[in-house]
Chain A
Amino acid sequence: MKVPVSIRVWGVVAMTALVSSCSGQKDKGEGGDKAADQAATPTGAEAPAATAPGGSQPEAGKAPASPAAPRVIGMSQCNLGEPWRVQMNEDIRKAAESHADLKVVFKDAQNDSLVQRSHLEEFVAQKVDLILVSPKEAAPLTEPVAKAYRAGIPVIVLDRAVLQDEYTTFIGADNVKIGREAGKWVAQALGGKGAIVELKGLMTSAPGQDRHKGFLEGLELDKHPDLKIVFDADMQWLEPNARREMESALARHRKIDLVYAHNDPGAHGAWLAAKQTSREKAIKFVGIDALPHEGVQYVKDSILDVTFQYPTGGAEAIDAARKILAGETVPKKIELSTRLFTKDTLAQGGQAIQ
């Protein structure tokens, strides 16, 4: 080849990149705001109710729409690489379909905060009636969200919060709470005694940290001295990694009673590893997210014993959007509750946790 030197240089580049990339430092994974390192609670979260500037006087400043013209909702999704986010869009689409007067325009920011920022600017320029945004990160999107809000367009922030309180309402679930529920379920299912393997999501991401923290709170290890986490590893939300780590856990520990994975694909990977050594029957598998064709399906197939839903909030967002567009007020923060799916509760669509 004529370019051996450049190839050598590229080789070095590739080797440098290896360290960060072979370990799977990706923004992918199933649930919610997994890569949201900066996810922060909105400062105005506890404000009882807020009226959207555009919502309180829905027709002010705009000519009343003719009954045929639908209200346009702009939706900016931070990326569509995660099945959970695809599901969120799907939930929004489904919820909006039943209302002929709503039209949703979907945009995919492909994991780029600046692209998402331009989405918001485009929505303002187009004068959409309402904006839904599921931000990639809090800090870079706070100002664009605030600008749209100040321009009189109601903004519903989904899943990951932005800083400050210049938006109409925030809809999201609490990962610590879901982790805690999982911990409680595990402590009870094991009768306060047993060896646990924890397969963590990317531990530099807020959801990974929260699902771990909540799990420990729910387990109450100080009250259950016979309950032990014998092995834990960071599987970065990825099924092949989870399977690999579980194989190590199985090789190292003769007795494993339960696997708690921070997402359903992780739990599925662990099950595949256990099945290979015919130990899957002796182990309980617990996952999180409960997407209909992923976690819930795994429960149906007797792969997982339980999965805890991390709700997308898509339907709730359309609900809130309709209220705002009708001039009603909505709370500044809508917290979504989780549901747990076991084989017994599948038929009734899971069991709500209060």
Chain B
Amino acid sequence: MSTALNRAKRMIASPVGRVLLALALMLVLGLVFNADGTFLRWTTHRDILRQVSVYGILACGMTIVIVTGGIDLSVSSVLAAAAVGFSLLTIHSGWNAAGAIALVMAGGAAAGAMSGVLVGRLKVPSFIVTLAAMVFLRGFAKHLSGGQKVSTYVQETGDVVPLPAIFEQIDAHILADIVPIVTLVFLACILATAFVLRQLRLGRYLYATGGNDEAARLSGVPVPRVLIMAYALSGLFAAIAGICQAAQERQGDPETGTGYELQAIAMVVIGGTDLAGGRGGIALTLVGVLTIGYLQKILSINAVGEASRLMLTGAIIVCAVLLQRRK
């Protein structure tokens, strides 16, 4: 009996236990404030999974960058540029879906790699580099789109062209209307991130770089190249998130996703990944993603007013991070 209790105590004290505790608190909160049983319906939980997917995909790339001890503020702008680029290619330039997705993903990775070069080779702090990239790419998204939302409307002629099927396909549910495609994309991103961090040599290099880049360099880790890879992956994930965002909005909005980078950072931090680098992982980020997703849903189904929502969100993020702190 007492050993079981001890084991439970140890569980709660472990990083995983503490992250799960935050999520468990959310679930309890949801059960208490269930909005006439809405929280108990499975469709509510499906909706949460769909709603967190775009943030979650961003959080995958963000986890990789934060593990290296950096930060990537540009993800929201990469997302917007990708949404615009994807919409332009598929709706107006007649590209097929696969080609457009490949090109947009390559573009996202290239944009990330450029930040990576500045951080890795030129040693500019990542906050500055990605802040600049955030501003630049938001401008690029507006430039690409001519300041307009890219929808099925053709500015020059005033005509409306049909929406390519890929938009509804990405926004659909499969398996008897149960699993949203965007959630599957999110899960694939989680698995890919886990693979990179755990199975590849690159993963060990990422942790080594974040832990102590000087020591990593001395022991033969190609630190600049590792950093370029980290930011390129973050850009790649942000581009995927942008395609999902465009599909869900049925258009490429150059203003979309503003502030999403901070959501992603919060999710990673609640997941217990250390902002100083070298520690953390994607499994915990997934729990962080769910924690914020559940919080937002509970506030939403209870129609909590905007002012209270902001205060509660802030307070709960602080609590979750405190819960996370290593003793």
Contacts and interface: CB of A to CB of B under 8 A. Distances in A.
B50 to A, nearest CB: 8
B70 A15 contact: no
Interface in A1-16: 1-4, 6-8, 10-11, 14-15
Interface stretch (B3-11, B95-103, B185-193, B250-258): B250-258
A3 B127 CA distance: 11
B151 interface: yes
A7 B69 contact: yes
14 contacts: A4-B69, A7-B71, A7-B276, A8-B276, A14-B265, A17-B262, A18-B266, A23-B313, A26-B258, A83-B148, A83-B149, A248-B300, A251-B47, A269-B249
B300 A233 contact: yes
B300 A19 contact: no
A203 B309 CA distance: 13
B160 interface: yes
B262 A11 contact: no
B213 A18 contact: no
Contact of A1 (B253, B255, B277): B277
Contacts of A239: 249, 253
Given A22-B263, A251-B44, A272-B248, A2 B297 contact: no
Given A22-B263, A22-B266, A26-B258, A251 B276 contact: no
Contacts of B199: none
Contacts of A11: 71, 265, 269, 275
Given A83-B149, A252-B301, A203 B306 contact: yes
B201 interface: no
A252 B38 contact: yes
A233 B125 CA distance: 40
Nearest to A231: B303
A231 B158 CA distance: 36
A247 interface: yes
Interface residues of B, number: 62
Contacts of B173: 276
Contacts of A276: 173
A24 B214 CA distance: 40
Nearest to A277: B43
B222 to A, nearest CB: 15
Interface string A66-90: 0000000000000011010010000
A234 interface: yes
- Residue from the set A21, A28, A231, A251 with the largest chain B CB neighbour count within 10 Å: A251
Given A3-B125, A251-B47, A18 B153 contact: no
The 9 closest A-B pairs by CB, nearest first: A1-B69, A293-B153, A21-B259, A11-B275, A4-B276, A248-B300, A19-B314, A234-B306, A18-B262
Contacts of B265: 11, 14-15, 18
A38 interface: no
A80 B139 CA distance: 12
B148 A251 contact: no
A243 B151 CA distance: 17
B310 interface: yes
A228 interface: no
Interface string A279-321: 0000000000000111001001000000000000000000000
B317 interface: yes
A28 B249 contact: no
A159 interface: no
- Residue from the set A21, A252, A269 with the largest chain B CB neighbour count within 10 Å: A252
Given A1-B276, A252-B38, 6 more contacts: A11-B265, A14-B73, A81-B255, A86-B147, A240-B248, A251-B47
A11 B300 CA distance: 27
A297 B263 CA distance: 33
A297 B160 contact: yes
A52 B38 CA distance: 61
Nearest to B212: A1
Interface in B74-129: 125-127
Interface in B33-86: 35-36, 38, 41, 43-44, 47, 51, 68-71, 73
Given A7-B276, A240-B249, A244-B300, A80 B147 contact: yes
Nearest to A23: B310
Interface string B290-327: 00000011001101011001100110010001000000
B272 interface: no
